[in-house]
Amino acid sequence: MSQRSPGAPPTPGLLQGVDRLTIPVRNLAKAELFYTQVLGAEVVERDGTELGAEEQPCVHAQLCPGVELALVKQAFGWQPIDTSNPHVAFEIPGADVDRWVAHLAAWGVPSALVFREDYVVEIGVPTRVELHFLDPDGTQFELLAYDYPMDDRAARGHYNPWDLYYGPLAWPPPRT
Amino acid sequence: MAFRTKHGESDVGEPPSGQAPSAAERGLAIRRLDHFTVPVRDFHVSCKFYTEVLGGIITGEPDWEPFLAGRSAGSHMSIKLFQEAGRLVLYWQPWGHPEPDQVHPHRAFTVANAEQLAELLRRLQQAEVPWILVTPVAARPGEPVRISAYFRDPDMNQLEVVCPAYPFGAEVRVGTFDPAALCYPWSEWRRLVPDGGAPNRPRLKREGT
């Protein structure tokens, strides 16, 4: 992708920042479990509501500095598994990528590690990598690092979205 | 940690901490928002909306070569839409747009003050984009309230802009609203922009032709 402004990043004038990103979920308790335990969010408000055609119950949780998620109970509007947009992407340190893969797997969440074709560099050289996975309701997430050492294990460009599916009824995995 | 809400549901019980440590227990944390994507049908349409109406700045142009070569499902365009960290990515995906009565997922942004919200509403009005001002609880006329402007982009992706203190008045709706009332035809925006914002796809031949 070409960059129109290669110098200092431009600054838009009207909108200040993100108030919150809303995520549709089937089950609030299950969503809270996923976002707090698996992704590390902290609950800000458990008994919230979002307005729409009706007052929809929700849980507000802060996922990282300045970004709050509203997990909203909604009975429809799910994304097909092989449709990658909309999605939300957050940055993690490259040193944590392998541990995130193991952490997601331990919670029964399949993931795909992807190097984009634009970023094909020599083995060992720090580069951009994407870690794709789904929440229990099928909402697509991406964790990305800009300083992950290139290796030959991850996919380049493509991944199979069906490999990420695990289904809302099958999660969380049973205790051992 | 409680997993019951006032809304009554909890079929999860306590977190299975005996099975897997939490992200916090592993010392894993998300650093910051990088981007979020919305599916769009035509970059010229979306670019017109997000730059001219919402004040965003294009920071990355689409590259169609991987798509045309069959190595990618689409292409994308980056917009710096707000001042804080993070960017919007418009992704060419001519399917998967939200339904008229669907409110979530959506993206809510902030403006600093009532003047900036008024400027946004003026731009939406000028662009003939339907919007609605909503607050959860009524107040006295002129009393500053936290307020949300709900509207959609031309592809019907739901957007919200929150103002921390906006004078309550007759134009402000209290409580629920009809999200379908915010829909408008994408084709009207498509007529305003030149061709080239989406790949030319081969037309399907009819049988016998």
Residue-wise pLDDT for A91-105, tens only, equals 999 999 999 999 999
Cβ distance B120 to A14 less than 8 Å, yes or no, reads: yes
Alpha carbon distance, N-terminus to C-terminus of chain B: 66
- Say which residue, B3 or B71, is predicted with more confidence: B71
Encoded tokens for A118: 């634009």
Q: Which residues pair with A132 in a beta bridge?
A: A112, A142
Alpha carbon of A69 to those of A31, A75, B122: distances in Å?
Answer: 11, 18, 28
Span B45-53, average pLDDT? 96
**Closest listed residue to residue A54, CA positions, set B175, B161, B9, B8:** B175
Of A13, A52, A64, the CB nearest to B30: A64
pLDDT in tens, A36-63: 999 999 999 999 999 999 999 999 999 9
In this predicted structure, the answer to whether residue B201 has a pLDDT above a threshold of 90 is: no
In this predicted structure, the answer to whether residue A147 has a pLDDT above a threshold of 90 is: yes
**What's the pLDDT score for residue B1?**
41
Search chain A and give the residue with CA nearest B92. Answer: A85
**What's the pLDDT score for residue A77?**
84
Q: Which residues pair with B109 in a beta bridge?
A: A18, B161
A contacts of B83 (beta carbons < 8 Å): 11-12, 15-17
When mean pLDDT is compared across B6-15, B91-100, B121-130, the lowest value belongs to B6-15
Question: Are B101 and A53 within 8 A, CB to CB?
Answer: yes
Strands (E), chain A: 17-25, 42-50, 56-64, 67-73, 87-91, 112-115, 126-134, 140-149, 155-156
Q: Residue for token digits 């922009």?
A: B193
Question: What type of residue sits at position A153?
Answer: R
pLDDT in tens, A112-133: 999 876 656 788 888 899 999 9
B contacts of A147 (beta carbons < 8 Å): none
Question: Are B179 and A53 within 8 A, CB to CB?
Answer: yes
Name the band, by pLDDT with cuts 50, 70 and 90, for residue B182. Answer: very high
**What's the pLDDT score for residue B70?**
79
Q: Give the percent of chain A with pLDDT over 90.
A: 66
**What's the pLDDT score for residue A3?**
36
Helices (H), ranges, chain A: 28-33, 97-106
In this predicted structure, the answer to whether residue B103 has a pLDDT above a threshold of 90 is: yes
Long-range contacts of B58-65 (CB under 8 A, 24+ apart): B58/A4, B59/A3, B59/A4, B59/A5, B59/A9, B59/A10, B59/B87, B60/A1, B60/A2, B60/A3, B60/A4, B61/A1, B61/A2, B61/A4, B62/A1, B62/B92, B63/A1, B63/A2, B64/B199
**What's the pLDDT score for residue B112?**
95
A contacts of B95 (beta carbons < 8 Å): 83
**What's the pLDDT score for residue A153?**
72
Predicted ipTM of the assembly: 0.90
**What's the pLDDT score for residue B140?**
97
Q: Which residues have C-beta within 8 Å of that of residue B157, sequence separation ≥ 6?
A: A86, B38, B39, B40, B97, B98, B106, B107
Question: Are B30 and A91 within 8 A, CB to CB?
Answer: yes
Classify the C-alpha dihedral A13-A14-A19-A25 as positive or negative.
negative
Search chain A and give the residue with CA nearest B117. Answer: A14
State the average pLDDT for chain A. 88
Number of cross-chain residue pairs from A and B with Cβ atoms under 8 Å apart = 276
Q: Give the percent of chain B with pLDDT over 70.
A: 87
Span B155-172, average pLDDT? 97
SS3 of chain A: helix, strand, coil, percent, to 5: 20, 35, 45
Span A4-27, average pLDDT? 78
Of B22, B59, B62, the CB nearest to A10: B59
Using DSSP's 3-state secondary structure scheme, residue B134 falls into strand
B contacts of A59 (beta carbons < 8 Å): 5
Cβ distance A157 to B32 less than 8 Å, yes or no, reads: no
Name the band, by pLDDT with cuts 50, 70 and 90, for residue A11. Answer: low
Search chain A and give the residue with CA nearest B54. Answer: A14
Using DSSP's 3-state secondary structure scheme, residue B122 falls into helix
How near does any CA of chain B get to the CA of A129, in Å? 13
B114/B118 Cα distance (integer angstroms): 6
**What's the pLDDT score for residue A9?**
52
**What's the pLDDT score for residue B10?**
44
Q: At B186, give phi and psi (nearest 5°).
A: -60, -35
Name the band, by pLDDT with cuts 50, 70 and 90, for residue B49. Answer: very high
**Closest listed residue to residue B134, CA positions, set B103, B177, B75:** B177
State the average pLDDT for chain B. 89
Of B29, B72, B102, the CB nearest to A76: B102
Name the band, by pLDDT with cuts 50, 70 and 90, for residue A15. Answer: very high
B contacts of A39 (beta carbons < 8 Å): 23, 30
**What's the pLDDT score for residue A125?**
86
